Structure 1
Amino acid sequence: MMDLKQPVVQVKGIGKARAEELTDLKIYTVEDLLMYFPYRYEDFQVKEITDLKHDERATLEGKVHSEPSLRYFGRKKSRLTVKVLVGKYLVNAVFFNRAFLKKQFSIGQPVTITGKWDQHRLTVTGQHVTFGLQESTDKIEPIYSIKGDWTVKRVRNVVHQTVQQYSQYVKEVLPSDLKVQYKLIDRNKALQWIHMPETHDHLKQARRYFVYEELLLFQLRMQWWRKQEKEKTDGKARHLNETQVQEFIQSLPFPLTGAQQRVTNEILNDIQSKFRMNRLLQGDVGSGKTIVAAISMYALVTARMQSALMVPTEILAEQHYESLKQLFDDMDIEVEILTSSVKGKRRALVLERVADGSIDLLVGTHALIQDDVQFDNLGLVITDEQHRFGVNQRKVFRQKGITPDVLFMTATPIPRTLAISAFGDMDVSTIDEMPAGRKPIETYWAKHGMLERVLSFILKELENGRQAYVICPLIEESDKMDFQNAVDVHSQLQLYFTDYNVGLMHGRLHVEEKEEMMTKFSRNEVQILVSTTVVEVGVNVPNATIMVVYDAERFGLSQLHQLRGRVGRGDAQSYCILIADPKTDVGKERMQIMTETNDGFELSQRDLELRGPGDFFGKKQSGLPVFKVADLVHDYRALEVARQDASAMVNSTAFWEDQKYEPLRSWLLEQIEHWEELD
């Protein structure tokens, strides 16, 4: 069998100099070249007008019907328009900033134009034009990512040469029965067709193959890791007093919702099992995740074990600390807080009491996992807004010689496809029901021209003793982006609301300054808080009833929903006002969706569809895999199938022994070896 791991210099036409250049594209071996897939395709297939969809890229063939007209506008900008007869339709072909083409069009001349099709205006905005008829009318051209001196054409030629020379030696990865079951073509055929498709069907079949292969390999790794975690026991029996736990639940001032009861049972079952819990608890803002966490920590107290609750900010830690102290006030339960503000003798005393087991529940920030924090009998770690921590907590605790159950909580409802991908090694519990009596937040979309009315509305709420958040996308004025900034808005609102205190908060302030401002706001010493999105995960201020977001089209749906969730935490009716003049259809759609629903799970799915998985969390989420072919939005069914197949494989004896699984098994064992080296 030909070794595809050999250097690229083995490919015909690639010498040492060109091989060196290929390292810019992270291509070192023949296999790297074969697997360097196009990221999109140019479709030069000529279609009938009736087969076209609005806004799609299209190639049209016709004859020039009239003299072209040329208009200039702005500085050195032009618009060239020519009418082309395509079949029985008269189509407008428009070319921007390509005035030189005017002399090349002549009436009756055959032309082939590729560009964006506007169904309503019967117009094609031309990107490519060929004078005369195309030699081939079914051309599909792969487009590759490039760097440095490489051009798409050069990369295409090198890759195609490699495919022709080596694709016959490509080793099958999938067992034949799976390929038959899912009607998948052979791997070498898929490789040829993904690089050199002759028809759309070729491309579709090649893509189907690699989507499944890619997702299956990813899920094999994930399911193996999940199996390892499940099989690890920590040697500490969690003998909960179920009677006491149920009595505690009955003593709460409100009944649990059905969803809260369900996820509580899931967590308690995990805690009592011999396997270590690794669970994600997701629920919308206000769905009652905190009380579920409190019940879980109380359950550990009945087992004479400690719990830790880790949150992103000091002020949030303070808030959780106060609410837990109040909840367990009449019980023999010790609750303590540990943040960077806890210093000197008090810190030493907290560390001593944590180490000797006197403290049952410890609340804090990153300070909880510093070297000098040693627990006596830690059984449960809960982290709030898990994706905001850059630390691998499990590894840190393992290094301390303890293996607690781990519960991650997030108020960002995560669509199933992302949960399977980013958190695929976890069990997922979902609170998908809101407590009774909670008033929905009324959401309105206002244009910038309506600002005076918005300010008048804020004033009425302030006169009723309420408070308001005002969010801006930028900290300061930018010459690159024309959006409202927090510094200017803060100055403007100070002039408008002269009888009230207007505070300013943003990411450039020191932690202490941010904490101080949030404390003033929570105490109603500041009535209007102008801020950037640093308040997205913040303190609970029940008296705040208005959330105003400037240039709201700049934010994703999930982020807007998180901001909206800062209000509506008290008994009074709350409002979210989105100020936006979106220039794009996506921006308009976002505003409409926000005014139509308060359901975080529906919003998260729509956000995923509008923005794609990479930006779902507002910035690149490192936990998400980067796929060459698969798309987490469109290929969610394939992801689910791959997850089920991978789980069945790693948990079967056949996978580890049968020859038909050898390629998959070898790949997985190689991955395992790599992880162990890193660990």
Structure 2
Amino acid sequence: MSTRPEPLFPLFAELESLDGVGPKTARALAQMGVERPRDLLFALPHSVIDRRRRDTVQGAELPAVLTVEVTVGTHRAPRQRSGAYRVQVEDAATGFQLVFFHARPDYLQRVLPPGSRRIVSGKVELFDGIAQMVHPDHILPPEEAGEMPEFEPVYPLTAGVTQKTMARAVRAALARAPDLPEWIDPVQKARAAWPGWRDALAAAHAPEGHVDLAATAPARERLAYDEFMAHQLTLALARARLRRGKGRETHGTGALQAKVLENLEFRPTAAQTRAVEEIAADMRAPRRMNRLLQGDVGAGKTLVAFLALLIAVEAGGQGVMMAPTEILARQHLEGLRPLAEVAGVRLEILTGRDKGATRQAKLVALAEGGIDVLVGTHAVFQKDVAFHDLRLAIVDEQHRFGVRQRLELGRKGARADVLVMTATPIPRSLSLAQYGDMDISLLDEKPPGRQPIRTAMVSTARGEEVVDHLRRAVADGRQAYWVCPLVEESEAVDLIAAEDRFGRLRAALGEGVVGLVHGQMPPEDKDAAMARFQSGETKVLVATTVIEVGVNVPNATIMVIERAEIFGLAQLHQLRGRVGRGSGASTCLLLYQAPLSDSAARRLTTLRDTEDGFRIAQVDLEMRGAGDLIGTAQSGLPRFRVAEVERQAALMAIAQSDARRLLADDPTLETARGQAARTLLWLMGQDEALRLISVG
């Protein structure tokens, strides 16, 4: 079924084909992302007004929206044109006033003739002890009262669209919603007591109180599940396609791994051991591995990665480890070198800096199998780079690496296993949404011997004390980072801030003690400045956020983050992770400019109170929402209209296992439920995914 199913045609027609939607309204709705009748179905009300009738306004807790039947009394026009026009009315027990500003008296005489019975509904408030309903929302003769719902849904609006227009457009769209075959697993649907799709829509648009507006209301939960299901089906289809590409069975002997483990000064954590076992099992299987290794700062990903690379070498193949920047690639090389020496494997690096004969010699060695493990930047992607037998590709720092690069890498080693590493802890809900096509290994414990980092908040007014603290630390032979803020998007301004701070610290601490790195420097100058700091030649490194990922200087025990309140939580956590890597006690000072906003205060106190990256990521998610957390543009995260990624992680997990199970039983979606699932993908605009279903 490569074309849209016919029952869905009316939902994908032009908006103007709906009753009451003209070109102007259609343009206004498009501002809200509503472009087709189907979009109106998922534009759910955010609150509800109770318009049930009562006999009298007397005894009601005011202010409140009330609906009563009244007898119309006298009209009082204002003395000045700008004054209020008042109509006295009587309900079953008391009198009150209807108040209108900028009124047209002839119109009001027509709508509210004295002596007539009318039903009025609107907000009633007390002014000088008199109950008033200012500009009633509804004025109807009693025989037309049926037109007003007892509970009126309130929709999010945009300029040029009123509640009335929106409600009418939604009603017209609902009238077009067809009965669709059920795509949810019947057992799941019964267990959750969810209505069918069409009934769920009708109920979600007709809430009868606040309970019906909650994400847990059966109708809303079902519609959220549909969105998750479509998204997870798409990821599962991508995953199935990847797995159909035949992998290689890579069986390690354990001999090289044993050498490394014998020479370690500590035992690997249970989490590290478990991750290596999961990776080894994937590599032994005939399918291609597609796994994410997720670990907090300092959880020991490097060891896990190297043991995985050794499995490839033990099986007679090669491994490659790729980093997003040259600095990081060189650092991986430094980190892996001692392990490689112990294991007796040939380790080499390839970056854009390799030129001429050196580069040629490396390429020959690589193609002939003279290099076991290659570390590199994306230079590894270049056309002339060929491996003798690539078994495992490890990609560091996932978010700089889209799905497209993952596929590109797959072409290098036609059937190489892929392991992606990220040091950004991601809450479970987001990792399901973003990496649902991958299997996930978590490193959720710290290796023994990692020192806790003491974190303190210090006002910039006490800047001089911080400089004194640094002076003493440097005298004791310790090292420190001083991170300058990215004040504006312009790097030129940041540069001035960084150079200014560098000048002031150099004046305070002495020539040759302070180094500087920033994004505008040529790569070789940046590397040279980093190298001087790593070797201990400079004691304090002033930097913009270029040092966020990966730099490893065990002797650095102080991290000063200037204007910490303008950094994001995850970024602060990454920066703090640059210290606490050696045996010395470490400190992180969050320099902030008072007064702090509520959200800035929450970010800084969260960081001060915990080092658990997953806890920090969860708070970050609650504060910023999913889209901002990973930048929706590059996150591949769909825009859910009903579902809430942050709050409905458990629902997403059920959708993931359901989608995977459905495809395991029915890989080409041919059964009745499979066909229904295809309709769901079309309905949710995920029909691209259907192209991933291979023929036969």
Kindly tell me the number of residue pairs found equivalent between the two proteins: 602
2:322 is the alignment partner of 1:305: no
Distance 2:294 2:458 in 1: 31
Deviation digits for residues 561-603 of structure 1, max 9, x if unmatched?
1110011112211110112235333322222222222122222
Are 2:425 and 2:614, in contact at CA under 8 Å, matched by a contact in 1? yes
Write the letter of the residue equivalent to 1:213: D
Name the residue aligned to 1:486.
498
Match of 1:9 among 3, 16, 19: 16
Q: Equivalents in 2 of 1:18, 1:592: separation in Å?
A: 46
Aligned to 1:107: 128
Task: Compute the RMSD of aligned alpha carbons.
Answer: 3.6
Give the 3-state SS of the residue equivalent to 2:311 in structure 1. Answer: helix
SS of 2:541's partner is strand
Identify which range, 353-362 or 192-201, moves more after superposition: 192-201
Q: Return the offset for 1:379.
A: 0.3
1: CA distance, partners of 2:298 / 2:246: 34
Summarize the alignment of residues 185-584 of structure 1 with structure 2, pairs less than 5 Å apart: 185-195=195-205, 197-204=207-214, 205=217, 206-234=219-247, 236-329=248-341, 332-390=344-402, 392-400=404-412, 402-474=414-486, 485-499=497-511, 501-580=513-592, 581=594, 583-584=596-597
Q: CA deviation at 1:178?
A: 4.2
Matches within 5 A, 1:140-151: 140-144=153-157, 146=158, 150-151=160-161
Q: Is the 8 A contact 1:111 1:133 kept in 2?
A: no
SS of residue matched to 1:433: coil
Change (3 A) 1:30 1:597: closer
* Shift in CA distance, 162/512, structure 1 to aligned 2, threshold 3 Å: farther
2:431 is aligned with what amino acid? A
**Unpaired segments ≥5 residues, structure 1:** 47-57, 63-103, 113-129
SS of 1:469's partner is strand
1:31 aligned to 17, 38, 44, which one? 38
Deviates more, 1:314-323 or 1:19-28: 19-28
Contact 2:48–2:210 at 8 Å: present in 1 too? no
Q: Percent identity?
A: 37
Q: Secondary structure at the match of 1:540?
A: coil
Q: Give yes or no for contact 2:25–2:161 (8 Å, CA) kept in 1.
A: no
User: What residue number does 2:652 align with?
Assistant: 639
Partner of 1:85: none
Check conservation: 1:212, 1:638, Cα contact below 8 A.
yes
In the alignment, what sits opposite 1:118? none
Residue 445 of structure 1: how far off its partner (Å): 1.2
Partner residue in 2 for 1:672 = 689
Query: Residues 212-242 of structure 1: CA distance to partner in whole angstroms, max 9, x if unpaired?
Result: 11111112222233334344422x3423213
Q: How far did 1:513 drift?
A: 3.9
| Conserved 8 A contact 2:518-2:544 | yes
Change (3 A) 1:331 1:650: closer
User: Do 1:506 and 1:532's aligned partners in 2 also have CA atoms closer than 8 Å?
Assistant: yes
Pairs within 5 Å for 1:42-81: 60-61=63-64
Tell whether the 8 Å contact from 2:559 to 2:576 is kept in structure 1 after alignment: yes
Distance across 1 between alignment mates of 2:173 and 2:359: 64
Q: Do the aligned partners of residues 175 and 239 (structure 1) sit closer, same or farther apart at CA in structure 2, a change above 3 Å counting?
A: closer
Amino acid at match of 2:433: S
Flag the structure with more relative contact order, 1 or 2, with Cα contacts below 8 A and sequence separation at least 6: 2
Q: Is the 8 A contact 1:545 1:568 kept in 2?
A: yes
C-alpha distance in structure 2 between counterparts of 1:401 and 1:311, whole Å: 17
Instruction: After superposition, give the CA deviation of every residue in 1:153-176 in whole Å (9 maximum; x if it has no partner).
Output: 586256335335424667765466
Distance in structure 1 (CA, Å) of the matches to 2:638 and 2:174: 30
**CA distance in structure 2 between the partners assigned to 1:279 and 1:477 by the alignment:** 34
Counterparts of 1:644-659 in structure 2, within 5 Å, are 644-653=657-666, 656-659=669-672
Relative distance call for 1:605 and 1:294 in structure 2 (3 A) is same
Is the 2:502–2:516 Cα contact (8 Å) retained in structure 1? yes
Q: Is the 8 A contact 1:558 1:603 kept in 2?
A: yes
Change beyond 3 A, Cα 1:489–1:640? same
1:154-169 equivalent positions in 2, closer than 5 A: 156=166, 159-163=169-173, 165-167=175-177
User: Could you tell me whether the CA contact under 8 Å between 2:346 and 2:370 is conserved in 1?
Assistant: yes
Query: Which amino acid in 1 is paired with 2:46?
Result: Y
Is 2:606 aligned against 1:585? no
Secondary structure of 1:333 counterpart: coil
CA contact (8 A) 1:484 1:550 kept: no
Kept in 2, the 8 Å contact 1:34–1:162? The answer is: no
Q: Tell me the amino acid that sits aligned with residue 182 of structure 1.
A: A
Equivalents in 1 of 2:222, 2:313: separation in Å? 51
Counterpart residue identity of residue 672, structure 1: A
Amino acid in the other structure paired with 1:142: Y
* Matched AA of 2:661: A
- The residue aligned with 2:117 is none
Tell me, what secondary structure is at the counterpart of 2:341?
coil
Q: Displacement, 1:26? A: 5.6
Structure 1's 318 and 177: CA in aligned 2 closer, same or farther, altered over 3 A?
closer
Q: Could you tell me which amino acid in structure 2 is paired with residue 632 of structure 1?
A: V
Q: Of residues 659, 662, 675 in structure 1, which corresponds to 2:675?
A: 662
Q: 1:324, CA displacement in angstroms?
A: 2.4
Give the counterpart letter for 2:527 in structure 1: E
